[in-house]
Amino acid sequence: MLKRIAAIGFILVCSSIGWAILGSTIFYRTYSTDAQLKGRVSSSWGTAQEQTPPTAGYQVVSQKQVAATGSGTAAIRTVQQRTWVTLPLEQTRADAALRLDYRKKGLLWYSTYQVDFSGAYRFNNPSDQAQEVTFRMHLPASQAVYDDLNFSVNDVSVATTSEKKDAVATIQLQPHETAALRVAYRSHGLDNWSYGFGDEVTQVKDFQLHVTTNFRGFDLLENTLSPTEEIRQRNGWDLVWNYKNLVSGYHVGIALPQKLQPGPLAGRISYFAPVSLLFFFFALFLLTTVRGIKLHPMNYFFLACAFFSFHLLMAYLVDHVSIHVAFVICSVVSVALLVSYLRLVAGMRGALLEAGLAQFVYLVLFSYAFFFEGFTGLAITIGAILTLFIAMQTTARIQWTEKFAVR
């Protein structure tokens, strides 16, 4: 008996080494090309975007007389002094509609999105004279496409020029005239979208940002402002940030939900597979002992191979099909291998009832628990406690002294 247990333990250790190698291979395949694949997605779809409010201002040219000395004689010369006057932003009404659209590269899904942005901004010319005011809208990302870009002042479309990542327009404002700048565009981004006010602590007056999404799950980026209103819609969220006079160094940032990643999921399942096999061997050993069925360590070796086939097949099947479809196929293949083998060793009843049910619980259900982030540990703990309860109740009347007696 002790030799058989030692042999089973040796099989478990060797299987664990195999799963460790397989899991490391999966993670290497997943992350070794992550930067390259993400670069491809960014080049065709765009990068993370952060929109900032526009700026407006005009240049004032004044004459100034300065004293100059040359050749031992004093002289007065006149120089031009240029001063840039920035117009304060008095009101912001911005809207953004985010539509999630996943892209898969290799073993990873990337959270790409489409964004329809529109903003209405109010400036006022404080001067007593007409001024040539330059409006400058900083576009959120240089590696992006901006479709249907509209730029208007007081409901009149104006021509814009491009300076690096800025759309620039210049119009004349009359003394104390209020200018309503409207900007709208359609673009694409990756991972997150944000609205910033600058790198320093900034005062923002009469600000309102309205964001709608077509997805339910989302998160806020670190060090960002929480919505003042959150309304759950049928297929997403209606979020509002509304401030009368905000003074803060934080900005608005939304992280898009991440799709279940097939590569990391398959790697984690492989790393924890020895725990699954340990539970299965433990349950099978007790059941065969109670029923008087003697399984040779070679039988346990082939059972371990049936378990390993589940993870090996999944490691390369998730490249081609959905993770859920791959999970179902791998489960059917592994269970069929084990049941068809034990049917010949211990009979159909023992194969289907004991071994088949144990494999379904400790392989299929155990692995499926990894699909639920945050509940994996709890599910494994509950399974271990239930296994212990069933084992204690089943073997309570067994005389272990006789079972372990040396014959």
Q: What pLDDT, on a 0 to 100 scale, did the predictor assign at position 74? A: 61
Select from 233, 255, 277 the last residue of a domain. Answer: 255
Which residue segment(s) compose the domain that 335 sits in? 2-32+261-403
266 and 247, same structural domain? no
Select from 240, 255, 270 the last residue of a domain. Answer: 255
Instruction: Report, as an integer, the average pLDDT of 382-407.
Output: 75
pLDDT tens-place string over residues 341-391:
888 887 766 666 778 888 888 899 889 988 887 788 888 888 888 888 887
Q: What pLDDT, on a 0 to 100 scale, did the predictor assign at position 67? A: 67
Residue 272 lies in a domain: yes
213 and 67, same structural domain? yes
Select from 255, 281, 312 the last residue of a domain. Answer: 255
Q: Does residue 30 surpass a pLDDT of 80?
A: yes
Cross-strand pairs, 13: none
CATH number reported for the structural domain that contains residue 222 in this entry = 2.60.40
Q: Comparing 9-18, 161-170, 288-297, which segment has the lowest mean pLDDT?
A: 288-297
Cross-strand pairs, 74: 69
Q: What pLDDT, on a 0 to 100 scale, did the predictor assign at position 217? A: 81
Residue 41 lies in a domain: no
Report residue 405: phi and psi, to 5°: -65, 140
271 and 251, same structural domain? no
Q: What pLDDT, on a 0 to 100 scale, did the predictor assign at position 80? A: 67
Question: Around Cβ 5, how many Cβ atoms within 10 Å?
Answer: 13
Residue 40 lies in a domain: no
306 and 205, same structural domain? no
Domain count, the chain: 2
239 and 148, same structural domain? yes
59 and 20, same structural domain? no
Q: What pLDDT, on a 0 to 100 scale, did the predictor assign at position 326? A: 92
Q: What pLDDT, on a 0 to 100 scale, did the predictor assign at position 238? A: 92
Burial string for 327-356 (b: 16+ CB within 10 Å, else e) reads beebbebbbebbbebbbeebeeebbeebbb
Give me the chain's average pLDDT, please: 85
| Residue 240 CB contacts under 8 Å (≥ 6 apart), including other chains | 208, 209, 210, 211, 227, 228, 229, 230
Question: Around Cβ 212, how many Cβ atoms within 10 Å?
Answer: 18
155 and 15, same structural domain? no
More confident call, 83 vs 327: 327
314 and 197, same structural domain? no
Residue 235 lies in a domain: yes
CA 51 to chain centre: 20
283 and 239, same structural domain? no
Instruction: Report, as an integer, the average pLDDT of 160-182.
Output: 86
Contact 136, 54 (CB under 8 A): yes
Residue 37 lies in a domain: no
Residue 300 lies in a domain: yes
222 and 91, same structural domain? yes
Instruction: Report, as an integer, the average pLDDT of 242-253.
Output: 89
54 and 18, same structural domain? no
93 and 147, same structural domain? yes
